[in-house]
Amino acid sequence: MNTVFSLWSSQKGRNLIVQLLMVAGFLGLVWWLVDNTVANLARQNVATGFGFLENNTGFDINQKLIAYDESSSYQRLLLVGLLNTAIVSVLGIFFATLIGFMVGLARLSDNWLVSKLAFLYVEIFRNLPLLIQILFWYVLLIEILPHPRNSFALGDMFFLNNRGLYLPWFTSLSGGNIVLWAIALFGVGWFFVSRQAQKRRELTGQKSSYTRHYFILGVIALAGYLSLWGVPFEPNLPALKGFNFRGGLSFTPEFVALLVALSLYTASFIAEIVRAGVLCVAKGQFEAAKALGLPTNVAMNKVIIPQAMRVIIPPLTSQYLNLTKNSSLAAAIAYPELVSVFAGTALNQTGQAVEIIFITMSIYLFLSLLTSFLMNIYNARVALVEK
Amino acid sequence: MSEKHIIEITHLDKYFGDFHVLKNINLSVAAGERIVICGPSGSGKSTLIRCINHLEQHDGGEIIVEGIPLNDSVKNIDFIRSEVGMVFQQFNLFPHMTVLENCILAPVWVKGVPRAEAEMLALQYLERVRIPDQADKYPGQLSGGQQQRVAIARSLCMQPRIMLFDEPTSALDPEMIKEVLEVMVDLAEQGMTMLCVTHEMGFARRVADRVIFMDEGEIIEENTPAAFFDNPQNDRTKLFLSQIIGD
Amino acid sequence: MRSILKWSRENLFATRMNAVMSVLSIWLVYVAIEGVFSWALINASFIGTDKASCAANPHGACWPFVTAKLNQFVYGNYPMGEQWRVNIVFALGAFGLGLLMTKRVSFKKEVAVLMLTVYPVLTFILLSGGFLGLSYVETNQWGGLLVTLVIAVTGIVVSLPLGILLALGRRSELPIIRIMSIGFIEFWRGVPLITVLFMASVMLPLFLPEGMNFDALLRCLIGVSMFASAYMAEVIRGGLQAIPKGQYEAAKSLGLSYWKSMRLIILPQALVVSIPGIVNTFIGLFKDTTLVMIVGIFDLLGIISFHFTDPNWTSPQVPITGFVFAGLVFWVFCFAMSHYSKSVERRFSVTGENK
């Protein structure tokens, strides 16, 4: 007892005691929760463990990027859900960035009307709960749009009805995939060539014609291939068969509603981030660039944007993360993403709440921690050097 | 209009909203001439030199630099800006670039000077402003006086024929003012055309060919430094000078 | 007239590009206003008692749905005769907030403390009842705007003190306290709220010993509060970081203990700096309350959606009208709050400017 008192009288000892008590309390709480859970599970006769991942799900879902049917396992289902989360998030991030940057820059426009409109956009979409926006677009799509028979059509190629959105697409014939890969490679090459051209421009002061030559070369190669071996693609147009459309690239109303809502909502936040980022670059910077005679595009590319981006990128990334997490709201309209299909349907079917919630949360947690880890690296790299 | 005037300003008017900042300003500057502009704050002196490289757009009158009229033409503006260097009160160095990168940015991207050549030129000018060994540091690592000297070097790298100084020493601690002024004196002695907005009267006496006093958007008095300081004509000038010297 | 022309020439048609943008914008404004007006007013139905009254206007809003159900939208199934209790709670809350937001009130601190301590207790007594002669009203009878506000207010009342503790913990010099705080904060911030709500509704019962059970609303409240606390902690941590180191040193050198220096010197400053962030977190929390409908709680959005299934009101325009109505209510609340936080921010940037 005496030793405890003497420990308590010193700062270090006191710190030690406080921390030990915290650890003890925490472990006690965990033990109590685990004990209760084990007892409850035993009483309810629920299976435990991750064995269920191998079992058949016994149900199908209406959007899958990889092969999946009733006889697939829960593991497969998890992957399908994850991919559906990924596709809506990636597309959402793309559109939200596009709209967000446009609106954010419009907010800074000299044009009074344009900047006020952008302001209105931000205030409307930012202050409406995302769930209401998702539900709103969803009912608009399924209640107001016509049946497939009376679809809105654009040139017999684009169709919009209450079953979804249909776009013209293509199917690859033999050799088609090789061409697609070649074009993708060409795109990657473009990145390097334009960087090389810029380096050369700095080195010699001469404008280089690298990119133009590269482009012409690409066009000639493509034209040569097509004229020798023909076009290895076939159009795949959506067409009404029976009660619904078949063929083409189709999106369910759930997907469209979720994508539209996520993009518009997140764009309103991105717009504010972009605006703040550009505004925080001091006015003097632009003046100094102008006074040196730099043309506007060079002033933007070399002076303003690099400084704005280091302010914009961290919050922008957290918006991307938010969008990904928010895609879980799809549970409300049954778009088959991770939460809706795994933490929803699979949980109801198996009853293994602990395992399923654990897996679901772990996935999001992993994504979040990874993102903030990468952001810390980025922040350390771009931090301005000061005394 | 004589050819030897490098800057011709006639009947210049400028408004900020309803506020008449510059009222019918007429000013000619000969090549190689060194002019100091002073006056109380809000007198329009900064606005005047900011009009010369079109950081502010004037509303009336004419500005002709090296025979080129400053108007809406982007080509003219670009030309004049590449001929006119400017040094700001707040330095306005680009914080994300090293000193050297700050200096070569405009030569490379405006004039198309090869990078190696631009670097050599930049080092030369950095030497002239007496900081050759700081080239790889970032602006944040330098003192205010060093930053301002880098800013001067950055402008000189464009090899301008005219330099504008907008209160270059006002944001500096007293012990740093001297090092910047010395660089400016050097520059003046090498024959650069200079327009300086400054309250450094010692500098004006030593270097200026003409001192211009402005108040409420008008040029009140202009004269040689000796005449200006020792025998001011206008009451407002006298008041201003007594305040400056009493300071 | 001439000044309008001059203004529009300078602000709308300064360059050719500008003119094109202006014309495009005017067209956009016209299309939007025309669409909203014709849907909400010109083509809308206003009176009636069932879907038949809306059938005549298939391209406009069905407002009778909202007016007929308004009582449920606000109170849920709270017994009609007892709704005065809810009204008192609403009125007290509005009065307290009004005092807090009025510039000239000198006893703001006292009001804030009352709002965070006495008000919640009073609210619980009034709403739940069961003693003092008030009849007991089960939480599954609560609904609509009432539940939305209960969740949001509970969230802020719990998250503010908890967030302060977590923020202090995260900046603590004691490694174990710091690690535990970081773990707690990053866990809740890393997962979507919907998974937290799923966890609260299906896993919380498993965590507790047999016989001890929370009702559905309470489970949600716990989930939302934990979630909000983590976000609040980060906002307050930002405020703590904004306080210059000299303040900590001065407090220490005056001989103040850790808790005293926090309570008297650091937190009063940090919390004031954090007000915009706190309000923004609250706006986010308020919008997020809508998610509880996914786990079967009838908040405003939940109860509106629930009434779409009323056979008297099955018509395509009913859900759209319902969501627009819900959106309007939420929007007004959120816009008012964000406006308030902006005005506070502006006040700081004026007084806090030192150049």
- C-alpha distances in angstroms, A118 versus A111, A114, A124? 11, 6, 10
Contact list, A386 vs chain B (CB under 8 Å): 138, 140-141
CATH topology of domain A74-154+253-382: MetI-like fold (1.10.3720)
Q: Which chains touch A (3 or more CB pairs under 8 A)?
A: B, C
Which residue out of A107, A111, A266 would a mutagenesis test of the C interface target, given it has the greatest number of C Cβ atoms within 10 Å?
Answer: A111
Contact list, C210 vs chain A (CB under 8 Å): 39-40, 43
- Closest by CA to C188, choosing from C218, C168, C162, C208, is C162
Contact list, A385 vs chain B (CB under 8 Å): 137-138, 140-141
Contact list, A353 vs chain C (CB under 8 Å): 202-203, 206
Residue A247 neighbours by CB under 8 Å, 6+ apart? A169, A236, A237, A238, A239
Which of C210, C291, C320 lies nearest to residue A131, judging by beta carbons? C291
Task: Note whether C44 contacts A: Cβ–Cβ < 8 A.
Answer: no
Task: Give me the residues of C, 167-186, that contact A with CB < 8 A.
Answer: 173-177, 180, 186
Which residue out of A113, A117, A376 would a mutagenesis test of the C interface target, given it has the greatest number of C Cβ atoms within 10 Å?
Answer: A113
Could you tell me which residues are beta bridge partners of residue B85?
B163
Cβ A185 vs Cβ A239: under 8 Å: no
Q: Would the pLDDT of C296 be above 60?
A: yes
Cβ neighbours around B88 below 10 Å, total: 23
Interchain CB distance below 8 Å, A39 and C22: no
Which of A110, A143, A328 lies nearest to residue C320, judging by beta carbons? A143
- CATH, domain B5-245, list 3.30.70.80, 3.40.366.10, 3.40.50.300, 3.30.70.20: 3.40.50.300
The one-letter amino acid at A55: N
Which of A26, A132, A364 lies nearest to residue C195, judging by beta carbons? A364
Interchain CB distance below 8 Å, C192 and A113: no
Q: Would the pLDDT of C80 be above 90?
A: no
Contact list, B140 vs chain A (CB under 8 Å): 384-387
Task: Note whether A139 contacts C: Cβ–Cβ < 8 A.
Answer: yes
The Cα A234–Cα C289 span in angstroms is 49
Which of C25, C294, C334 lies nearest to residue A117, judging by beta carbons? C25
Q: Report the pLDDT value the prediction gives residue B8, as an integer from 0 to 100.
A: 93
Which residue out of B70, B80, B87, B105 would a mutagenesis test of the A interface target, given it has the greatest number of A Cβ atoms within 10 Å?
Answer: B105
Contact list, B112 vs chain A (CB under 8 Å): 205-207
The Cα A15–Cα A30 span in angstroms is 23
Which of A139, A361, A368 lies nearest to residue C319, judging by beta carbons? A139
> Structural domains in chain C?
71-353 (1.10.3720.10)
The chain A residue lying nearest C208, using CA atoms, is A36
The chain A residue lying nearest C30, using CA atoms, is A117
pLDDT per 10-residue tile (average), chain B, 247 residues: 76 90 92 92 91 88 90 81 89 88 87 89 92 89 92 92 92 90 92 92 91 92 91 89 74
Interchain CB distance below 8 Å, C320 and A140: yes
Interchain CB distance below 8 Å, C290 and A132: yes
Interchain CB distance below 8 Å, A132 and C323: yes
First to last CA, chain B: 41
Q: Band of the pLDDT at C226, cuts 50, 70, 90?
A: very high
Interchain CB distance below 8 Å, C291 and A128: no
Q: Which chains touch C (3 or more CB pairs under 8 A)?
A: A
Look over chain C and give the mean of its residue pLDDT values, rounded to a whole number.
84
Contact list, A287 vs chain B (CB under 8 Å): 55, 88, 92
The Cα A178–Cα C193 span in angstroms is 44
Could you tell me which residues are beta bridge partners of residue C45?
C62
The Cα A102–Cα B31 span in angstroms is 46
The chain A residue lying nearest C175, using CA atoms, is A19
Task: Give me the residues of A, 283-312, that contact C with CB < 8 A.
Answer: none
Task: Give me the residues of A, 209-228, that contact C with CB < 8 A.
Answer: none
CA distance C87 to chain A (A): 25
Interchain CB distance below 8 Å, A204 and B114: yes
- Closest by CA to C244, choosing from C275, C272, C268, C266, is C266
Q: Report the pLDDT value the prediction gives residue C19, as an integer from 0 to 100.
A: 83
* Alpha helices by DSSP H, chain C: 2-11, 16-37, 52-55, 63-75, 83-101, 108-116, 118-128, 144-170, 175-190, 193-198, 204-207, 216-242, 245-253, 258-261, 267-288, 300-307, 317-351
In tens, the pLDDT along B179-213 reads: 999 999 999 999 899 999 998 888 999 999 999 99
Residue C143 neighbours by CB under 8 Å, 6+ apart? C72, C75, C76, C77, C78, C298, C299, C302, C303
Q: Mean per-residue pLDDT for C77-102?
A: 84
Q: Report the pLDDT value the prediction gives residue A364, as an integer from 0 to 100.
A: 92
Task: Give me the residues of C, 281-310, that contact A with CB < 8 A.
Answer: 283, 287-288, 290-291, 293-294, 301, 305
Which of A203, A285, A287 lies nearest to residue B114, judging by beta carbons? A203
Interchain CB distance below 8 Å, A357 and C195: yes
Q: Report the pLDDT value the prediction gives residue B148, as an integer from 0 to 100.
A: 93
Q: Report the pLDDT value the prediction gives residue C349, as an integer from 0 to 100.
A: 63
Task: Note whether A180 contacts C: Cβ–Cβ < 8 A.
Answer: no
The chain B residue lying nearest A282, using CA atoms, is B92
CA distance C196 to chain A (A): 8
Q: Report the pLDDT value the prediction gives residue B214, as an integer from 0 to 100.
A: 93
The Cα C230–Cα C160 span in angstroms is 10
Give the SS3 label for residue B66.
coil
Q: Report the pLDDT value the prediction gives residue C353, as an integer from 0 to 100.
A: 36
Task: Give me the residues of A, 85-114, that contact C with CB < 8 A.
Answer: 109-114
Q: Would the pLDDT of C355 be above 80?
A: no
The chain B residue lying nearest A297, using CA atoms, is B109
The interface predicted TM-score (ipTM) is 0.89
Contact list, C191 vs chain A (CB under 8 Å): 325, 361, 364-365, 368
Q: Count CA atoms within 13 Å of residue C172 on its CB side.
A: 21
Q: Which of C322 and C353 is assigned the larger pLDDT?
A: C322
Interchain CB distance below 8 Å, A291 and B110: no
Contact list, C294 vs chain A (CB under 8 Å): 329, 331-332
Domain residue extents for chain B: 5-245
Q: Report the pLDDT value the prediction gives residue A365, as an integer from 0 to 100.
A: 92
Give the global pTM.
Answer: 0.83
Which residue out of C8, C15, C16, C207 would a mutagenesis test of the A interface target, given it has the greatest number of A Cβ atoms within 10 Å?
Answer: C207
pLDDT per 10-residue tile (average), chain A, 387 residues: 70 83 92 87 78 80 79 87 91 95 88 90 94 93 81 80 82 81 90 85 74 88 86 80 76 91 96 90 86 85 86 89 92 88 85 88 91 84 70
